[in-house]
Amino acid sequence: MSEQGAYIFGCEGLVLSRAERDFFERAQPWGFILFARNVDTPDQLRALTAELRGAVGRDVPIFIDQEGGRVARMGAPHWREWLPALDQVDLNPREAVRSLYLRYRLIADELMAVGIDGNCAPLADIATPNTHAVLRNRCYGDDVVKVAERAMSVAQALLDGGVLPVVKHIPGHGRATLDSHLELPRVKARFKELGWTDFMAFEPLAGLPLGMTAHIVFEDIDPEHPATQSPGMIALIREKIGFGGLLMTDDISMQALDGALSVRARQALRAGCDVVLHCNGTVAEMEEVADACGRLSENAQTRAQTALSWRKPPVPIDIEALEAEFQSLMIG
């Protein structure tokens, strides 16, 4: 067993409290995740990421959801603003692969400058006419081949910028017509159809170091459990899709899941997830999750070490040249 906990935690504010520092030192989370409540200025954010690493005494990965568009924890005036990804793609579909690369290479540069080395992107969810609005314009398209190609470009951009990508939401969130933050979506599509659409979009991404599960029930495969807590669905992610990286849950606090946090967390780990993601930064809740999860399993520790081995120094870039190229693609 590892000395690192099988969980990724948030924190409450712009600086760590003494209680948070003491808890993180004891609990040794595998990683951290930041939200808008943790973000003010570049100097403040650099200090916070240094403080988080200091609390656990190691170069722990620190994640954020910086997709651009509606899901952006860092915004103006200190960081670039972006269109929702699907709106960007629609402006110049022919150059979507390159424009998404440029977008996420610039985002990676901003993240690394403040000590953040993990981004919860790319999405390989396929947009449909019925995709819930919470997700739809965050997608990269409605065609499985194009989505996979664009998602790989996003992942490569982040890696080139020194940032670990987290592919989401495995094995596909695009058919969800409900918001899983608030309720549990159920997908009725048959296994065969899912296999050559939603699931197939993730297969070219299966070699990436990190992935995040979807809180969705796929009724034809496991009508009882959302993918995050379904042994059958996790086996499908590992065996059919072939994903071999560290698999984290989507936020365990989301209302798609039932029961106490400890129960939710244990069910996810028993199903085969490696790490539980808990996002709201409430110490009492994090203590419950830590007690329920314990330390990384041997297999999870191996995948975690492999994931961290993907961290490389950023490839040097000419920021002004990339920005100019991006703008040229957005005007045709």
Is 59 part of the annotated catalytic residue set?
Answer: no
Which alpha helices (H) appear in 161-251, and where do they start and end?
Answer: 191-195, 231-239
Is 169 part of the annotated catalytic residue set?
Answer: no
- Strands, E assignment, 223-283: 246-248, 276-278
- DSSP helix/strand/coil, 19: helix
Write down the residue that tokens 């967390």 correspond to. Answer: 265
Catalytic residue among 160, 250, 251, 274: 250
- DSSP helix/strand/coil, 118: strand
Catalytic residue among 40, 143, 179, 181: 181
Q: Specify which residues 31 forms β-bridges with.
A: 8
Smallest Cα–Cα separation from 176: which of 192, 190, 189, 193?
189
Cα separation, 191 vs 92, in Å, equals: 33
Q: Specify which residues 123 forms β-bridges with.
A: 168
Write down the residue that tokens 């793609």 correspond to. Answer: 89
Q: Which residues are catalytic?
A: 181, 250
